[in-house]
A and B are shown apart, each in its own frame.
Chain A
Amino acid sequence: MIVIAHGLVARADLPIPQWLFVWAAAMVLVVSFVALAVLWPEPRLQREEWRPLPGGLGRVLASRPVEIACGAIGAFLLVLVVYAGLHGTQSSTANIAPTFIYVVFWLALVPASVLFGDVFKAFNPWRAIGRAVGWAASKVAGGNLPAPLAYPDRLGHWPAVAGIFCFAVIELVASGSDKPQNLAVATLVYSAVTFVAMALCGVEPWIARGEAYSVYFNLFSRLSVFETRDGVVGVRQPLSGLPGLKPIAGTVPLLAVMIGAVTFDGAAEEPRWTSAALDMSNAFQDIGLTPQHALELAFLIGLIGAIVLVWGFYRLGVLGATSVGGGFTAGRLARAFVHSLVPIALAYVAAHYFTLLLFQGQAVAFLASDPLGDGSNLFGTAHNQIDYTLIGSQGTWYWQVGFVVAGHVTALTLAHDRALAMYDEARLAVRSQYWMLAVMVGFTCLALYLLSQANA
């Protein structure tokens, strides 16, 4: 699965060297920065303007029957993935579990969240099961259930950080990460932890701050124009969802893990990393580790290193921003601008994985008909094939550059608007953003460099 993670593309035959694309992308960011400084003199995104969908559609979409139906679908898919993983074929390409987890769940839900809002909240199997069990328990207890524990403020998003980090470890570090049985066991373990947490803290408080995937997809859904408020789906001003993000403990590390994990996945194709990983693995074997564990430890170090690199670079930009004055601490600025990292995280996911979604996503058609890989043909699509001609290497590179540039320009816009809202003088606000611009240019260069290595 990891081999095809960057798309089945050969070297891109481009009219100019790939590094020139990076220079052009950097120029686009600089020009965008100047344009924002001149044409965007006042904050425009800090006000939350929202109106419901017309004709009662918003109320229907967020109604209890629709919510229950979506939750039931999510719970069914969870059970299907676990069952297929435990009882189906252990071939990663013939069993629905790996493709569903790594492609449908982990990848497809990202653009779905950006386009349609927090759809995962409706389909979240853990939330659905937790609410169903809570409802049943309250009926049995006659409404006399003990109150849940208060969610500790200091815990913040740290459980979500741990959850996303563990997913990255399973996906990028652990051997056997595409084995259906391993994925099913991991899903069961995560489900158990989530159910215990929901029982202790309450379903909605845990979903809002602690459940890894709820928090993860909610971040991306803030880029959508669709938002549900008080049981009604409505529309808001583009990009206005992210300024409303209230950073809490662990929010900055969460974005660092999100971007760092994709960075490491891209770096895995880089010859210098593969050479360094082999050297580290040999060193670990010399101290007694098995070859498998030695390589896993080397990759774990690499993953942590990538996350620390991303966090460090953002921290550098924040420290630079404190130097222009304004009286803000580095911590305050780090939290104030963390929402601008979400489009960067989206750009990284889109650029690195869109070919995987495009190609392996087609496998859902035949895997749905034969989820266990036992020769079934439930919907008559079991013999469908993946069409690898949908996009070539050149088109892939252009889309990747487009995603990266669009994501970083969006991040610049959000950061610029926030700076205008925070600083008393527009001049100070713009100067503070020189450093954020450096961070954006840095992330752009890094993303395109890693993608070029994958295409090499």
Chain B
Amino acid sequence: MYFAHAGHWLTAIAYFVPVIAFMVWLAVTQIRERRGRSRG
């Protein structure tokens, strides 16, 4: 049942890929900056 509706969920997630990708990029950037500050 859940696999049958996976296509609908994947399509819905596709709409939010840009914001998810951007948030991931932001988070990685923040973590790298904090590591750089702690080393410095």
| Chain A contact residues, CB within 8 Å of chain B | 17-19, 22-23, 26-27, 30, 271, 320, 323, 434-435, 437-438, 441-442, 444-446, 448-449, 452
Cβ-defined partner of B17 (8 Å) among A18, A23, A434, A444: A23
Name the B residues within 8 Å of A442 (CB-CB).
19
Give min CB distance, B31 to chain A, whole Å. 11
Q: Which of B15, B22, B30 is the one whose CB lies under 8 Å from A22?
A: B15
- Asked if residues A448 and B22 are in contact (CB atoms below 8 Å), the reply is no
Given the complex of chains A and B, what is the CA–CA distance between A438 and B22 in angstroms?
Answer: 6
Instruction: Write the chain B residue with the least CB distance to A450.
Output: B15
> Contact between A445 and B19 (Cβ–Cβ < 8 Å)?
yes
* Interface presence of B2 (CB below 8 A): no
What is the 8 Å Cβ interface bit string for chain B, positions 23-37, against chain A (1 contact, 0 not)? 100100110000000
Q: Cβ of B4 < 8 Å from any Cβ of A? A: no
- Bound complex: CA A18 to CA B11 (Å): 10
Chain B residues engaging chain A, CB cutoff 8 angstroms:
8, 11-12, 14-19, 22-23, 26, 29-30
- Specify which chain A residues have a CB less than 8 angstroms from the CB of B23 in the assembled complex: 438
B13 to chain A, nearest CB (A): 9
The minimal Cβ–Cβ distance linking A397 to chain B, given in whole angstroms, is 14
Q: How far is the CA of A382 from the CA of B30 in the complex (A)?
A: 63
Give, as a whole number of angstroms, the nearest-CB distance from A454 to chain B.
13
Chain B hits for A320, CB < 8 A? 26
Determine the distance from Cα of A437 to Cα of B14 in the docked complex, in whole angstroms.
19
Residues from chain A with a CB closer than 8 A to the CB of B15 are 18-19, 22, 445, 448-449, 452
A16–chain B nearest beta-carbon distance, Å: 12
Q: Which residues of A contact B17 (CB under 8 A)?
A: 19, 23
User: Which chain A positions have C-beta within 8 A of B18?
Assistant: 22-23, 26-27, 441, 444-445
- Please tell me which one of the listed residues B11, B14, B16, B26 contacts residue A435 in the complex, with CB atoms under 8 A apart: B26
Q: Using Cβ atoms and an 8 Å threshold, which residues of chain A touch B8?
A: 271
Instruction: Determine whether the beta carbon of A19 is less than 8 Å from that of B14.
Output: yes
Tell me which of A27, A323, A434, A445 has the highest count of chain B C-beta atoms within 10 A of its own C-beta: A445
B22 touches A323 (CB 8 A): no
Q: From residue A2, how far is it (CB to closest CB) to chain B in Å?
A: 23
Whole-angstrom distance between the alpha carbons of A242 and B12 in the complex? 34
Chain A, residue nearest B18 (CB)? A26
A154 to B23, CA, bound (A): 35
| A434 partner, pick from B12, B16, B26, beta carbons under 8 A | B26
Chain A residue contacts of B12, Cβ below 8 A: 449
A441 to B23, CA, bound (A): 10
Output the least CB separation between A315 and chain B (Å).
15
Interface centre among B8, B16, B18 (most CB of A within 10 A): B18
Q: Which chain B positions have C-beta within 8 A of A18?
A: 15
Task: Return B7 CB to nearest CB of chain A, in Å.
Answer: 12
The contact sample of 18 A-B pairs, CB cut-off 8 A, is A17-B14, A18-B15, A19-B14, A22-B14, A22-B15, A22-B18, A23-B18, A26-B18, A27-B18, A320-B26, A434-B29, A437-B22, A438-B23, A441-B22, A445-B15, A445-B18, A446-B16, A452-B15
Chain A residues with CB under 8 A of B19: 26, 438, 441-442, 444-445
Give complex CA distance A411, B23 in Å. Answer: 19
Least Cβ–Cβ distance between B8 and chain A, in angstroms: 8
